[in-house]
C-alpha cells in the first residue's frame, strides 16, 4: 500500500507544547525541533534571563513563513502554584497544550553518605515531584478532555547511579511514573513515554559540574561503543518522534538514546 511520509513540514502546525528546562541543552534542542514542525512552544524554567536568550535565538531560526512562536515563562517546577500558573498562562496564550516535555531537572555529585536531607529533597523535588506536578496540571488543564502526549527525560540509571544516588532514585521513579500514567490516562487519549539519554555533551551540561565537568565528559568516551559523546539534537529527535503522530501506538515505553552505552560497560568501574 502507498504510505505518505509522516514527518513533514507543518506536521504540528497550530499545536502547542510546554518544554521545561527549555533554556539550554536538550530542552532547547527539543524546542527547536518542535518549532521547525510549526508547533508553538513555551519554554519554562527558574532562570528567566536564560529563557529569554534562548527564545531570542530560537525565534531567529525558523523560516519567515513559519507561524509558530516560542514564549519564555518563568516557573519553578518544584512549586505547585507556579506549575498551575504556568499551565493557565499557556492556555490563555494558545488555548491548548498538546505536548509536554518534562526536561527540567538537576543534580550534583556527592557520595551518598554526604548527601544532606536538604540536598536529597531538592533533587527529588525537582526531578520527580516537578515531573509529576507538570504532568498532573497539563492533564487537568487540557489533556483529560482533549488527549495529548507527554515525554519525560530520564537518565542512564540502569546499573545504579553511584555518586549521584539522589538523581538515580528520582529518574528511576519517573520511569515507573511514566508507566503508571500511560495506563491511567490512556482512555483520555494521552500517551506518556520516556527518553533516557546517555552522556550528552552541551556547554550547560559541562558547566553544571563546574571544574570537574570537562574531565568527566572526557572520561566517558571510552565507555561508549561509538567512542563519542551524544549531542542534544540526537535526544530531541527521539523525543519529538514520541510526541508526534508517528508514535501514535507507543505509550508507557522508555527509549534509550545512548549509542549502546548501557549495554557496553559500567561507567562506575573503579570510581568509588
pLDDT one-digit tens code per residue, 7-25? 677 889 999 999 999 999 9
Name the residue with higher pLDDT: 63 or 111.
111
Question: Residues 251, 192: contact at Cβ < 8 Å?
Answer: yes
- pLDDT, residue 217, reads 84
What sign for the dihedral angle of Cα 30, 36, 42, 46? Answer: positive
If one counts every other C-beta atom within 10 angstroms of the C-beta of residue 228, the result is: 12
Regarding pTM above 0.85, the answer is: yes
The cell for 271 is 570510581
Q: Is the pLDDT of residue 272 over 60?
A: no
Q: Is the pLDDT of residue 77 over 80?
A: yes
Q: What average pLDDT does the segment 23-33 reach?
A: 95
Name the residue with higher pLDDT: 114 or 268.
114
pLDDT-derived band of residue 1, with 50, 70 and 90 as boundaries? Answer: very low
pLDDT-derived band of residue 219, with 50, 70 and 90 as boundaries? Answer: confident
**Cross-strand partners of 102:** 152
Question: Residues 206, 213: contact at Cβ < 8 Å?
Answer: yes
**CA separation (Å) from 105 to 33, 127, 153, 154?**
20, 5, 9, 9
Q: Which domains does the chain have, with CATH numbers?
A: 16-260 (3.40.50.720)
Q: What average pLDDT does the segment 84-88 reach?
A: 98
**CA separation (Å) from 145 to 40, 97, 142, 188?**
20, 11, 6, 6
Element (H, E) at 141: none
Q: Is the pLDDT of residue 270 over 60?
A: no
Average pLDDT over all residues of the chain: 92
pLDDT-derived band of residue 269, with 50, 70 and 90 as boundaries? Answer: low
- pLDDT, residue 53, reads 96
d(CA 72, CA 126): 19
190-207 burial: b if 16+ Cβ within 10 Å, else e: bbbbbbbbbbbebebbbe
Name the residue with higher pLDDT: 126 or 6.
126
Amino acid at each position: 500500500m502507498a504510505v505518505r511520509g509522516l514527518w513533514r513540514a507543518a506536521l504540528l502546525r497550530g499545536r502547542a507544547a510546554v518544554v521545561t528546562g527549555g533554556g539550554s541543552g536538550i530542552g532547547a534542542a527539543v524546542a527547536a525541533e518542535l518549532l521547525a514542525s510549526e508547533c508553538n512552544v513555551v519554554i519554562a524554567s527558574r532562570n528567566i534571563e536564560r529563557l529569554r536568550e534562548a527564545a531570542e535565538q530560537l525565534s531567529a531560526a525558523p523560516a519567515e513563513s513559519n507561524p509558530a512562536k516560542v514564549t519564555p515563562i518563568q516557573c519553578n517546577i518544584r512549586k505547585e502554584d507556579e506549575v498551575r500558573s504556568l499551565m493557565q498562562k499557556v492556555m490563555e496564550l494558545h488555548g491548548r497544550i498538546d505536548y509536554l516535555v518534562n526536561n527540567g531537572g538537576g543534580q550534583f555529585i556527592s557520595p551518598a553518605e554526604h548527601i544532606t536531607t536538604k540536598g536529597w529533597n531538592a533533587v527529588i523535588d525537582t526531578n520527580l515531584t516537578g515531573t509529576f506536578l507538570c504532568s498532573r496540571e497539563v492533564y487537568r488543564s487540557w489533556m483529560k478532555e482533549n488527549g495529548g502526549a507527554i515525554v519525560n527525560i530520564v537518565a542512564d540509571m540502569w546499573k545504579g547511579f553511584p555518586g549521584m544516588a539522589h538523581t538515580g532514585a528520582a529518574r528511576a521513579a519517573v520511569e515507573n511514573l511514566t508507566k503508571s500514567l500511560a495506563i491511567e490516562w490512556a482512555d483520555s487519549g494521552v500517551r506518556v513515554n520516556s527518553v533516557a539519554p546517555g552522556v550528552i555533551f552541551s556547554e550547560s551540561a559541562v558547566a553544571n559540574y563546574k571544574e570537574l565537568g570537562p574531565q568527566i565528559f572526557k572520561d566517558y568516551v571510552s565507555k561508549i561503543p561509538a567512542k563519542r559523546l551524544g549531542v542534544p539534537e540526537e535526544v530531541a529527535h527521539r523525543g519529538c518522534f514520541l510526541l508526534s503522530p508517528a508514535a501514535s501506538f507507543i505509550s508507557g515505553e522508555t527509549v534509550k538514546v545512548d549509542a549502546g552505552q548501557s549495554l557496553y560497560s559500567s561507567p562506575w568501574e573503579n570510581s568509588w
